[in-house]
Chain A
Amino acid sequence: MFECTLIQGELFRKLIVSIQDLVQDGNFMCDSNGISLQGMDSSHVALVAMALKKEGFADYRCDRDVTLGINFANLGKILKCMGSKDRLSIRAQEEGDSALFVFESEDSNRMSNFELKLMQIDQEQLGVPETQYKAVIRMPSSELQRICKDLSAIGDTVSISATKEGIKFSVGGDIGSGDMTLRQSDSGEVDGDDSEKIMIELEEPVQQNFALRYLNNFTKASSLSSMVTLSLGTDMPLVIEYKMDNLGYIRYYLAPKIDDEA
């Protein structure tokens, strides 16, 4: 028997929204430590990895490991029926072919039950190697979302370069080109709150190209967390991480594009 309850059901809905356009279906791996998920987009360019710790749940019980094969679009349909303040419970039997989603309103006056059919998904777990990144940037997630959205109006590939000066996003397209640079916030400005601050940890300068359409997809997760971390390396995937307080994280990996040889 697997059972978990999340006070802020809305958070789970947002998670699924930020996955479903990238990955069609995937396996929720539930064990005694929490729930994790890994999925690659169909062209093998991007990978999404999510982990939710059991501590983040109001209730968490997992007697034996359970794998829930989920079609995210279908799950999204069910989660649309949830009120924004509802509590969410998920239940599943070890060998069952469906999972139960229960929504309960704040005042416990409304209860909704939905059963989602599970799928058999043949998927290999991919080991993501821990690597030392050359540059790690922490910035407000809304800022990243805005930059990606604005730049994609001009071109489809963004070049991200991290230097001592700051982090530069540049784009070129048929109509012209442009760039946006963010500088590290002055350490003097610290007023106890480090949100809205841009921090760059740089080992050495690095520059990589990425497809903007994927980045636009990833930044859908902006509502999950006010801050986002970008990790860059040479000839390595970019990692974009959104941390959710106490609950866990969602990470996106994106393979770079190679420079035009021409």
Chain B
Amino acid sequence: MTALLRRSDSANPGMRQGHLDSVALFSTGWKKFGLLLGLAIYLLGPLMLSDFQLSVIDYAGIAAIGAIGLNVLTGYTGQISLGHGFFLGAGAFTAAYFGGNLDLPLPLWLAAAAVVGALIGLVIGPFALRLKGSYLAIITLGLVFLGQHIFENWKSVTGGLSGRAVTAPVKLGPVDFANLDIGGKEFSREGGYFYLIWAVVALVALLVKNLMRTRLGRAFQAVRDRDAAAEVIGVRLARTKVMSFVVSSSLAAVAGALYGSFQRFVNPEEFGLFLSIEFVAMIVIGGAATIYGPVLGALFITAVPFLIEEWSDRIPGVATEAGETGITVFALNQALFGLLIIGFLVLEPRGLAALWARIKVYFLAWPFSY
């Protein structure tokens, strides 16, 4: 076969370049520009934004890590999960235990969370992923309630119903992100965490991007697009879906660990169904099966409640003080997320990222006009 194929080697120089193009990550001018812009925001953000704004963006970064994780399972592998919140909880309590009780350093409690998330995913995946579609949604929903039960009763680790403090150290060598000091310039806790959290976001995005352009990640996408065809070309369906679940759970747990550490206190209640639904909303609104979609979704979903809070006295019918009549900010959030999910599913199933993708496809497809 090689001999024959070699003959046509010089036939199409375009393809020659094309296949290596897709090996380079930031191949186009726009992507390079985006990278530089991102870097500038990363470096300057904590110098220019208020602590309140930084804390919103910190929470959004944590959410982005979890959303990228859910997107591996849902966007890239086509498997729905309502259990994502549970894995955030598992990560948060792992950080609380390994970082707090055992006083392990930052890289170790983060890694411990990743490993615990992966292991739980590995144990549960084979049972859950036998099912498809709404059955999978229901069984992962069960996971949330099972998790709540465990979190509320495993008191020595989770603190039970009343929750627990998270005192995991956030030092990396001489750098303490909770008290960041660069050459005499002191940063707030929010500013320090901003650097830590968004560095992790960037790292996770890069790792997932690489995963998706290599063997396993391609197999995820094959399973999503056509599972029967994937199987006859040699993709082991069960194993592949479980691997996707493992990656997804592991990233959720990393997000949970950072969440606990940033918030300094966690409570089992936080890791219920609503959190899972927020993550589904993030990837629906942001756009599945891209790397930046879930990040956009996370920024959006995290910022909305704060914006509502900020403007609540100007929105009619919202109760801002206890005792006032009207719906609460929390209830308004829930209703709004519901509406957003439905709205995006109906009007733009591919989310915020889709507009850009559609423009791109249009130009790539030229001169075919469909």
Determine if chain A interacts with chain B: no
Q: Which residues of B contact A (CB under 8 A)?
A: none
Q: Which residues of A contact B (CB under 8 A)?
A: none
